Amino acid sequence: MHASWSHLTAAVVVAAAVPFLVYYLIVFGADPFWSVPYGRQNVTPSPPPLFLAAGVAPLLVLAVVGLAAFLEAGRLSGASSSSGFW
């Protein structure tokens, strides 16, 4: 009986949400007043490769240092290097 109530609840929630979904799809998809400016503002260009490399480099350095420390700790304790990932 519990499963039927959860299915009924899900059906009610979906039935209540569908009219709003259809309305917003029509408004933002068909009306140029809404679709053009609000569609353009949601585009985020990627940074130039040099800026991207400068932003990611510190994290990569830390990852390499951490991986080396992780592997060294596993080697010293005699554990398998893959055991920490489980």
pLDDT in tens, 23-55: 988 888 888 888 787 777 777 888 999 999 999
Higher per-residue pLDDT: 82 or 13? 13
CA distance 49 to 56: 10
> Could you tell me the residue ranges of all domains in the chain?
1-44, 47-86
**pTM score, whole prediction:** 0.40
Q: Is the Cβ–Cβ distance between 74 and 83 less than 8 Å?
A: yes
Average pLDDT of span 66-83: 72
Instruction: Tell me how far apart the alpha carbons of residues 78 and 85 are, in angstroms, rounded to a whole number.
Output: 15
**Alpha carbon separation from 70 to 20, 84, 86 (Å, rounded):** 51, 8, 14
Residues 28/34, Cβ–Cβ less than 8 Å: yes
